[in-house]
Amino acid sequence: MKFVEQPELAALLPVLYPGVFDNLDKLNRSKKARADLVAILLTGIPEGLINGFSNATGDVQADMLRLNTAIPPARRPNRLGVLGGDLAAFPNGRRVTDDVVTIALRTIAGLTEADVTAPFLRNFPFLGTPYDGFKTPVL
């Protein structure tokens, strides 16, 4: 629980990038538990925080995917999920195209918007050849 409420990365970002994460730095210094991270990662997001969205499953904390099936699939999926305005995506379940690493990093950093796209195949298996880890892909 401690590692969710006060993640090490949240403490490191203001140190590594001085002046970029000032709000996060203030939040870290306050030593307050990150209820937003607990909701996203452990309990689900309660009704009323995001208009038309809820995937809370109660007070039991568990690292699991939650899916609100009342939310229809997105006509235009956004790889940033709920942060990109796509309520059918992560953290409401997970699709192959959801960029959960970027979503998690943006959530920890307190960022909520982006306009980026990622290349995926239009047909099965949907995922192309993985990057080799040495070259930066051009998106």
**What is the residue extent of each domain of the chain?**
2-109
DSSP letter for each residue of the chain: -HHHHS-HHHHHHHHHSTTTSHHHHHHHHHT---HHHHIIIII-PPTTSBTTB-----S------B--TTSPPPSS--TTGGGGT-TTSTTBS--TT--HHHHHHHHHHT-----------SSTT---PPP-SSSPPP-
Q: What is the pLDDT along the chain (139 residues), one digit of tens a residue?
A: 788 888 899 889 889 888 888 888 888 888 888 888 888 888 888 888 888 888 888 888 888 888 888 889 988 999 988 888 888 888 888 888 898 888 888 888 876 433 334 556 677 766 666 655 555 555 4
pTM equals 0.68
